[in-house]
């Protein structure tokens, strides 16, 4: 047995999360911030924190799009019990715009993460499928050629002009 595929028992038992007391986790309590405005105002000071902004800019420079960063911020807020997931989602566009502003102010190249791919390169599986289809077509054509070679077309019979030839055969009927 492959050692990497051995089952690991160092994981929570299914349903373990339901055994804790209700309300013991921050996200199980009522959120501290209830409106979108409050959520946005909660995040604004984070963009004034130099250390935090530097960290985010480093991530953007390394090629991470803005949307996953915002996703992380929102999830952290939900885990801390600051706000619910839906108010976080509503505030997300504002956070994206804030991060764009921060990136442009410090001349950092950024990707938002909602860009649609125009020239999508075919995946390896698509290439393999296309090659298999091509091989099938080639095999079919070679088979057809072999069949054609094996049974060449019979040349047209010339009407026999002998004395014993039937009338119909002579006329080609």
Partner 1 sequence: MSQHIIKMYNKIDAQIRKAPTNTSVKSNGLIPKRDSSDEDADIIHYIKQLRKMREGNNESK
Q: Which residues in this chain contact partner 1 in the complex, by CB under 8 A?
A: 35-37, 40, 67-68, 70-71, 74-75, 89-94, 96-98, 100-101, 104-105, 112-114
Q: Least distance in Å: CB of 77 to partner 1?
A: 12
Residue 31 CB, shortest distance to partner 1, in Å, is 16
Q: Which is nearer to partner 1, 106 or 133 (CB)?
A: 106
CB of 145 to partner 1, least distance (A): 51
Q: Which is nearer to partner 1, 44 or 127 (CB)?
A: 44
Cα 7 to Cα 10, 17, 79, 142, distances in angstroms: 9, 20, 29, 50
Residues 6+ apart with CB under 8 A from 87: 31, 33, 34, 35, 36, 39
Task: Provide the minimum distance between the beta carbon of 23 and partner 1 in the complex, in angstroms, as a whole number.
Answer: 24
């Amino acid at each position: 047995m492959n050692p990497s595929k051995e089952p690991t028992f160092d994981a929570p038992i299914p349903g373990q999360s339901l055994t804790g007391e209700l309300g013991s986790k921050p996200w199980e309590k009522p959120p501290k911030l209830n409106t979108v405005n409050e959520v946005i105002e909660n995040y604004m000071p984070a963009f004034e924190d130099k250390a935090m902004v530097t960290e985010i800019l480093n991530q953007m420079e390394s090629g991470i799009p803005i949307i996953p960063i915002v996703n992380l911020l929102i999830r952290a807020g939900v885990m801390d019990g600051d706000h619910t997931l839906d108010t976080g989602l509503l505030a997300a566009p504002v956070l994206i715009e804030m991060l764009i502003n921060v990136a442009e102010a410090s001349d950092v190249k950024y990707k938002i993460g909602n860009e649609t791919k125009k020239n999508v390169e075919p995946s390896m599986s698509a290439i393999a499928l296309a090659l298999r289809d091509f091989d099938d077509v080639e095999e079919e054509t070679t088979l057809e050629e072999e069949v054609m070679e094996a049974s060449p077309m019979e040349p047209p019979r010339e009407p026999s002009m002998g004395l014993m030839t039937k009338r119909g055969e002579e006329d080609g009927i």
